[in-house]
Amino acid sequence: MNDTAASPPSGRHTLSWVVLEFLGSMNLAITLLVIVAVASVIGTVLQQNQPYPDYILKFGPFWFDTFLQLGLYDVYGTGWFISILAFLILSTSVCIYRQAPILWREMTRFRTQVRLDSLRGFHQRAEWQWLNQRPDAALQAVTDLLQKRGYRWQVADHGDHQVVAAVKGRFNRLGYLLTHTAIVVIGIGGLLDGNLWLKIKEWRGELRIETRDLAARDLPPESRLAPGTIPAFRGNVMLPEGSSANFIFLRVRDGFVLQELPFAIELKDFQVAYYDTGQPKSFVSEVLIHDQEHLGDQPLAATIRVNHPLVYSGYAIYQSDFGDGGSKLDLQAWPLAAPRPEPVAAKGEVGEALKVGGSSGALTLELDSFRLFNLLPEPDAQPGDRRFRNFGPSFGFKLRDATGEAREYFNYMAPVQMEGRWFHISGMRAQPGDPFIYLHIPADAKSSPERFLRFNARLRDTDWLRQRFEHAPVPGENADFQRDFNRVRLNLLELVTQGGFNAVAERAKAVVPADRLQEATTLYLNIVRDTLAEVFVEILREEGLAVEQGIGEQEEAFFNDAVSALAVLPTYGAPFYLQLAGFQQVEASGLQITRSSGAVVVYIGFALLTLGVFVMFYTSYRRLWIWLADEDGATRLALAGVANRRQIEFADEFAGLAAALERRVTGRASSESINQEVSESCR
């Protein structure tokens, strides 16, 4: 809106005039709109209200702190955004207050106080002398023509002349008022639907953001919101099958608050379908709404699908996510750093934390996730190959030490075939953003990791190794040399079990001259491999296999895969291999519940904006003036017009109107016209 201010008044009202002039200025409104637009783009591109560790991983500590200080993780809830939006509403309201009377007068007044010289200065103009025609008759002809062209007019008699002022499309000016009013209405709706209410409660000390990892039942009253406390919110709840909840969690910065609901939602059944690529295709929740006040003892049954929310009592319930609802897992913990190969049975639920022992102290086992299907590309697929395979169930967990540091693990339940051989696969990463390091445990003939784990346990059985290599009788003249050699073999095995093959290379670097390092390292590794082979043969012999004539290709391939797995164990970081032996899946539906008290206000604002833009761009405000004066029995007739947009279209319309008037002029009007510039002005 072009704010054309009057001259400043004098006296005690000068300061208020300056303030109104500043608040209602176009430059201020545009600046505020640009800031709000840029902030909205940031709030759209940067996912809002996510856990702070996710932002740290994505941006790093420096930029995380920078963005945190700017409030970019919760743009729409920051004080500066709310203040700017409120200031924009105030500025636009002042502009409407100042300009509405001016625009209203412009729409309703015809401006009949014009001079002939002024009309002759218009770009669109024409002038004739109408002989033998009185002004009254000429006026009737003019008004008939204006009526046919859709103009409204008003006639003013100034004594020696008459002025006809005509307008069409006067509601074009209303478009400016509608668009500016729409900005105010949408802004108010945004404030009503934003975090303003939470901010007010937090500023007044009535609400405390909870940052601890507490269950809903353990939250203090100051972190809870009763139903109807705030008129607008957006929160989430993860609901396992067969359970119900009458609350949701509202994420606020690095914490959350609990919003209680006036009804309870029960999840009866949850179903999810997948594409061939493993991506979820659809997920559906069958729910019951329990509301004693409005429904009595009869619950409301409903189905919630993606993009098909359930709207109940002013609350919109969306299907937003899905996950595990506490699946029950049967586990076997195979020791990796102990001489005993027997597994320890354990049971747990996803979301549960168990205390377990470790070589360096107590550890916490956090069961994080369970997936029934893992549709992944074929491991041996060529580039561009779109073949997928279901790798079966898997589960994820963390091992957290006493200092709080954790390693993340991801294990498949069933063995996976790779290059014609079968492996039990376990992934590990020390940081959430790191790629997984995979441990491939070769599966034996029973599709079990037992053979490898017995082999690994035997390598850590010091008593057995000493009995086998150090204390065994050595006949012959080289007995002392053989005993010393066996001690070297035991030392190398200890290095391998503690630090992997890299530890052997580091020992060689420490004790061997540089010019013989490569030769010595190769010798050490060969000794280690031969020693491992002897131990492996003993494992096969204990299984009842005939190994006197050597081992077959299948056992040899198993041994090579076992050696590769032993090389990964030192970096695996877990004192045991956790195998999934059985499960009972419990699915959970992620529901998002919103209450938008300002939604109707925003819809009204967008309706006003659409109507205002339509009026401004598709209507044209056009004015015409006709000057009529009696000159010795003839009538001087001057026509002039102006339009605020669509100038070419108006020029054509003006030319047609001028031509129609000229046809009504009789006698010598065409040859004696004082100033006829229609053709020139319409080019």
Residue 572 confidence (pLDDT): 93
Whether pLDDT at 21 is above 80: no
User: How far apart are the C-alpha atoms of 64 and 352, rounded to whole Å?
Assistant: 30
* Secondary element (H or E) of residue 235: strand 233-240
DSSP 360-413: TEEEEEEEEEEES--EEE-TTPPTT---EEE---EEEEEEE-TTS-EEEEEEES
Computed on alpha carbons and rounded to an integer, the radius of gyration of the chain in Å comes to: 43
Whether pLDDT at 670 is above 60: no
Give the three-state DSSP class for 106: helix
Enumerate residues 6+ apart whose C-beta is below 8 A from 140: none
590-642 residue pLDDT tens: 999 999 888 888 899 999 999 998 888 888 888 899 988 887 778 888 899 98
CA angle 326, 331, 337 (to 5 degrees): 130
Whether pLDDT at 285 is above 80: yes
Percentage of the chain beyond pLDDT 70 is: 91
Instruction: Tell me the range of 3-17, 108-122, 281-295, 624-638 where mean pLDDT is highest.
Output: 281-295
Give the residue with greater pLDDT, 439 vs 504. Answer: 439
Q: From 267, 226, 230, select the one nearest 247 (Cα to Cα).
A: 226
Residue 280 confidence (pLDDT): 79
User: How far apart are the C-alpha atoms of 283 and 238, rounded to whole Å?
Assistant: 14
Backbone angles phi, psi at 109, to 5 degrees: -90, 145
Structure token digits, residue 645: 């947009």
For the chain, the first-to-last Cα distance in angstroms comes to 31
DSSP 172-211: HHHHHHHHHHHHHHHHHHHHHHSTHHHHHHHHTTS---B-
Contacts for 291-296 with beta carbons within 8 Å, 24 or more apart? 291/262, 291/263, 291/264, 293/262, 294/263
376-402 residue pLDDT tens: 777 666 666 667 788 889 999 999 988
Strand order in the sheet with 124-130: 124-130, 634-643, 622-631, 161-168, 152-157
**CB neighbour class for 105 (10 Å; exposed up to 12, middle 13-18, buried from 19):** exposed
Structural domains in the chain, sorted by start: 11-106 (no CATH), 117-169+622-681 (3.30.160.110), 196-231+233-325+588-595 (no CATH)
Whether pLDDT at 501 is above 80: yes
User: How far apart are the C-alpha atoms of 244 and 309, rounded to whole Å?
Assistant: 18
> Which amino acid is located at 238 in the chain?
M
Give the residue with greater pLDDT, 277 vs 671. Answer: 277
Enumerate residues 6+ apart whose C-beta is below 8 A from 635: 129, 130, 133, 134, 135, 138, 628, 629
User: How far apart are the C-alpha atoms of 574 and 454, rounded to whole Å?
Assistant: 17
Backbone angles phi, psi at 614, to 5 degrees: -60, -45
252-284 residue pLDDT tens: 888 899 999 999 999 999 988 877 666 778 889
Give the three-state DSSP class for 354: strand
Structure token digits, residue 505: 């290379």
Residue 658 confidence (pLDDT): 87
191 C-beta neighbours (distance < 10 Å), count:
18
Q: What CA–CA distances, in Å, run from 328 to 254, 350, 580?
A: 30, 7, 11
202-220 residue pLDDT tens: 888 889 999 888 888 889 9
Whether pLDDT at 668 is above 50: no
Mean per-residue pLDDT for 557-582? Answer: 93
